[in-house]
Amino acid sequence: MRKFIQKALARLERLDREQVAHLIAGLSEENELFAGVLESMTDGIVVTDPAQRVILSNRAAARLLGIAVDEAAERPLGEVVADRSLAAFLAEHLAGPAKVADREFSLDGGRRLLSVSILPLVREGRVQGGLVHVEDVTERRAREARLRRAESLASLTTLAAGVAHEIKNPLGSMGIHLQLIRRKTGGRDCVEAREVEPHLAVIAEEVDRLNRIVVDFLFAVKPMDARLENADLNAVVSDLIAFVRPEMDQAGVTVESDLADDLPALMLDVRYIKQALLNLLKNAVAAMSGGGRLRLETQRRGDEVQVRVIDTGTGIPAQIMDKVFEPYFTTKPFGTGLGLTIVFKIVKEHFGDIAVASREGEGTTFTITLPVPRIDTRLLEDRRGVR
């Protein structure tokens, strides 16, 4: 319809009375359709001229902004909006050509929440006003808040259930052995050490297990105090291999490494990166109960550095691959289910990512990807430019 009207206007002088009437009817029909669509919208739409006066708006805009359309047509929009912060925002951004999206304002003492966006109105290559979009997001934000609370409660429930389950087992074991000690000491002034030593050893072991559970739990839930400094990832990996090699030899695991020579310094907290890699190595050893081969690799890929931990263990079943980083998910009889959760948290604290690939019976590969500091990237680009 619009193309027809434009063509008709181009030859208006040659149109007869009937054609002009048809053209006016078409214009009226299109205008009514446009007005109907505009007034049916629940979001507010305001179009302003270069002086920020309203030249077009709908009822939703008047209701949401609390303005009188007639008053806004004579004065800048920012002057007729009651809320001061919103008025200042409109006055500032309607005066410029920049786009502003989804700025939220709390009105009526926090009872209403509006999301306001401003777009420049460009015609014939020039900014000739502004377009204001206003949306009432009060109910949406309330739903989102309720959903977040529900998710937090669900996470807390899962976390509490996991902790309770993990603590219950060692406490039960300690209770049994304390009963056995009580039986052996019942009615006697003293007992021989060899009679109670096995039970005390079990209790000591279970206390240590409880301590590990609590330590891992606290590490998983509390904020990290990571202090990122320039560090050599290859040196971290080499130190870790030297540290675990005796344990690997005892487990019948052969350790190999392939460390790239061109790695740049990375921003790392060496303590935490070692902890993350150590957790992966322990998992790998547990998956190779009959011995096997463990390989650590590093390489640079563009603006990222990758470190891989590759084992020849039992692999991870496909149906649980998407659960391995979840808290308290474990396939080990005495695992806390927090090892990979901690790894994931440490990697994210370093602005990195972690992926896992595995096949049952063939082994597993964990790949940690860490970003190269931007200063290093710029220096490399400059050197290429000089060449």
What is the end-to-end Cα distance of the chain in Å, rounded? Answer: 60
Which position has the higher pLDDT, 211 or 66? Answer: 66
Whether the predicted pLDDT of 386 surpasses 70: no
Instruction: Give the Cα separation of 355 and 340 in Å (integer).
Output: 11
Sorted by where each begins, the domain ranges of the chain are 2-140, 157-221, 229-379
How does residue 382 score in pLDDT terms, banded at 50, 70 and 90? very low
CA angle 32, 137, 139 (to 5 degrees): 110
The mean per-residue pLDDT over the stretch 351-355 comes to: 90
Mean pLDDT over 349-371 rounds to 90
pLDDT tier for residue 331 given thresholds of 50, 70 and 90: low
Residue pair 329/337 in contact (Cβ under 8 Å)? The answer is yes
What is the number of alpha carbons within 13 Å of residue 290 lying toward its C-beta? 4
Beta bridge partners of 135: 115
By C-alpha distance, which of 364, 367, 369 is closest to 331?
A: 364
Domain 229-379 has CATH 3.90.930.12: no
User: Looking at domain 157-221, which CATH architecture does it have?
Assistant: Orthogonal Bundle (1.10)
How far apart CA 273 and CA 236 sit, in angstroms, is: 8
Q: How confident is the model at residue 40 (pLDDT cuts 50, 70, 90)?
A: confident
238, with CB counted inside 10 A (0-12, 13-18, 19+), is middle
How far apart CA 349 and CA 341 sit, in angstroms, is: 12
For the cut 50, the answer to whether the pLDDT of residue 381 exceeds it is no
Indicate whether this model's pTM tops 0.95: no
Number of Cβ within 10 Å of residue 139's Cβ equals: 9
For the domain covering 2-140, report its CATH number: 3.30.450.20
How far is residue 328's CA from residue 165's CA, in Å, rounded to a whole number?
10
pLDDT average, residue stretch 301-316: 91
Q: What value does the CA radius of gyration of the chain take, rounded to a whole number of Å?
A: 34
Q: Is 254 left (phi over 0), alpha (psi -120 to 50) or beta?
A: beta
pLDDT at 42 over 90: no
Topology agreement, domain 2-140 and domain 229-379: no
Q: How confident is the model at residue 270 (pLDDT cuts 50, 70, 90)?
A: very high
Residue 257 to residue 310: CA distance in whole angstroms: 10
Residue 384 pLDDT exceeds 50: no
Structure tokens at 80: 């007729």
